Structure 1
Amino acid sequence: MNMVDFNSQFHLSMDWDWWFEFLKGMVKPLAALAVVLIAVILSFMQNLGLEKEMVYSIFRAFLQLSIIGFVLQFIFNQGNSGWIILAYLFMVLVAGYTAGQRAKHVPRGKYVAGVSILAGTALTMFVLVVLNVFPFTPRYIIPVAGMMVGNAMTVTGVTMKRLRDDIKIQLNLVETALALGATPSQATQEQVKRALVIALSPVLDNAKTVGLISLPGAMTGLIMGGASPLEAIQLQIVVMNMLVGASTVSSIMSTYLCWPAFFTKAYQLETKVFSSD
């Protein structure tokens, strides 16, 4: 047997070994479906009508996570920074669309959300990489980016929706301020502040109670993977810091990008934005 044949058989064996390990590892997730079955039975007994939705949700989560697992396995094996950027931009694109859907009455809401999420997470990621907190490799950057993008998505969507709703409720107050010569920034200062406080409060509350009420996912995953609790705590502190930073930048950015859609060039409220429910 020549060297080429040996190498091809070796790689084929490795591929099959990896596939076998994957199937072997799915035994426990499949066994955990027992708790879903309990939920389905309880839903049926209480006439909630959620049985089909429960089964569909779990099946969709299983399918999505399995696909993502294969995709990440492929990206990790490539070791190419281009795949990191591509995966990151895909996450931002989906997050921007989702956050824009939440704030559907904000004009160009998907664009505003996408740019805000990109700005907040990219800036935070750049700082972490420059300070050598994380190496720029797929194994570190993609999971970290996923956590930041997910939180920024939630905060940005809430900020945009809350800001638009608050201005609509206090329309007369804002118009009076504009008539007296206030700029859009001055006229909506309280509404912006309220929207940011409401959107960021869950993130800050989570930071205050982390470890006291529940162990976060990153920390739990490390401990279950065999890392020491001290190592897990160190990583979780970094995670909480980056979530607060990225969420704050993204939410503030979204308020600035909303203003052009809320006001005319003559510094008057764009009434059609606030006329729909």
Structure 2
Amino acid sequence: MNQLAVNNQSLIFAFLLVLIAVFISYREKLKLSKDIFYSIFRAIVQLVLVGYLLKYVFQVDNRWLTTVMSLFIVFNAAANAHKRNPNQYKHYWTSLLAIFVSTYVTMGVLVFSGAIKFIPSQIIPISGMIASNSMVAIGLCYRNLASLFRDQRQQVLEKLALGADAKTASLPILRESIKAAMQPTIDSAKTVGLVSLPGMMSGLIFAGVDPVHAIKYQIMVTFMLLSTTSLGSIIAGYTAYRNYFNEQLQLRREKK
């Protein structure tokens, strides 16, 4: 197999690309330089720590430790999705339920079908890939729910006044939010191979795998991501919309 040559000199030259972004931020007065440097520093620290941790986990090859690492990814993804929810009455368990179910239903199918094995070198990366995409989709769903409930507040109140229950009054908002959450994944699936060569496929090709075999893995990943984003968005949407109503099924006002 081909070996990638990423040495310190390569990293230094790659860092120059970051300085281009910093220069543009400074020139255009975007005030992003501090955030760029902070994000780079944080990414380096996190990746180094995770790299050594994964090296240890892969060497130990213990099922319980693999499960703990996978759950850590899911709980962390749920925490980040929870933070992205603008609703003041939000609950962490909503995000956790959506990401937990979408991640492990999808991954369970892959394991039982034999597509992947229950070993740390496969379970942990796949867990991260699935949970992160579910997290992004759920975050989009939350933001659209908040925006649409604010913009369509009067329509929802009118439906409630005419006798509709909370779910019926919220259904158009729910559908639009779920659609918006899934759209980036759908658009990505439309252009995969023509516009972009995604991470798994590119990584396998870099590693020397036959492109035809790499394509099979990427098709599997595409199916996997469509599954997890749809499950995550639907579970999050149909659970989170209830937080916009009180116990009497009245539409809540935002706290000041």
TM-score by length of 1: 0.83
Larger radius of gyration: 1
Q: Is 1:162–2:173 an aligned residue pair?
A: no
Q: 1:82 aligns with which of 46, 59, 64?
A: 64
Q: Is 1:258–2:240 an aligned residue pair?
A: yes
Distance in 2 (CA, whole Å) between partners of 1:44 and 1:164 is 33
User: What code does the residue aligned with 1:127 have?
Assistant: V
Alignment of 1:112-131 (within 5 A): 112-131=94-113
Query: 1:247 matched to which residue of 2?
Result: 229
Q: CA deviation at 1:215?
A: 0.8
SS of equivalent residue, structure 1 residue 134: coil
User: Are the aligned partners of 2:174 and 2:241 in contact in 1 as well (CA < 8 Å)?
Assistant: no
Distance in 1 (CA, whole Å) between partners of 2:161 and 2:34 is 55
Inter-CA distance 137–50: structure 2 relative to 1 (3 Å threshold): same
Q: Is 1:153–2:135 an aligned residue pair?
A: yes
Inter-CA distance 66–202: structure 2 relative to 1 (3 Å threshold): same
Distance in 1 (CA, whole Å) between partners of 2:152 and 2:23 is 47
Query: Structure 2, unaligned stretches of length 5 or more?
Result: 1-5
Structure number with the bigger relative contact order (C-alpha 8 A, sep ≥ 6) is 2
Inter-CA distance 173–45: structure 2 relative to 1 (3 Å threshold): closer
User: Are the aligned partners of 1:200 and 1:248 in contact in 2 as well (CA < 8 Å)?
Assistant: yes
Deviation per CA, 1:119-153: give whole Å up to 9, x if none: 11111111111111111111111111111111100
User: Are the aligned partners of 2:78 and 2:135 in contact in 1 as well (CA < 8 Å)?
Assistant: yes
Distance in 2 (CA, whole Å) between partners of 1:127 and 1:245 is 11
User: What code does the residue aligned with 2:107 have?
Assistant: M
Query: 2:15 matched to which residue of 1?
Result: 33
Q: 1:207 aligns with which of 189, 195, 212?
A: 189
Inter-CA distance 189–66: structure 2 relative to 1 (3 Å threshold): same
Inter-CA distance 183–57: structure 2 relative to 1 (3 Å threshold): same
What is the percent sequence identity of the aligned residues? 34
Inter-CA distance 193–50: structure 2 relative to 1 (3 Å threshold): closer
Q: 2:171 aligns with which of 183, 189, 209?
A: 189
Query: 1:64 matched to which residue of 2?
Result: 46
Distance in 1 (CA, whole Å) between partners of 2:136 and 2:78 is 10
Inter-CA distance 180–133: structure 2 relative to 1 (3 Å threshold): same
Q: CA deviation at 1:49?
A: 4.7
Deviation per CA, 1:234-276: give whole Å up to 9, x if none: 111111111110111011001222143222333322x23xx24
Distance in 2 (CA, whole Å) between partners of 1:185 and 1:243 is 27
Q: Is 1:235–2:217 an aligned residue pair?
A: yes
Inter-CA distance 237–26: structure 2 relative to 1 (3 Å threshold): farther
User: What code does the residue aligned with 2:51 have?
Assistant: G
Distance in 2 (CA, whole Å) between partners of 1:47 and 1:180 is 51
SS of equivalent residue, structure 2 residue 142: helix
Q: CA deviation at 1:103?
A: 1.1
Q: Is 1:101–2:83 an aligned residue pair?
A: yes
Q: CA deviation at 1:45?
A: 5.2
Distance in 2 (CA, whole Å) between partners of 1:219 and 1:31 is 25
Distance in 2 (CA, whole Å) between partners of 1:77 and 1:63 is 22
The CA RMSD measured in Å over matched residues stands at 2.1
User: What code does the residue aligned with 2:221 have?
Assistant: V
Query: 2:162 matched to which residue of 1?
Result: 180
Q: 1:134 aligns with which of 116, 123, 139?
A: 116
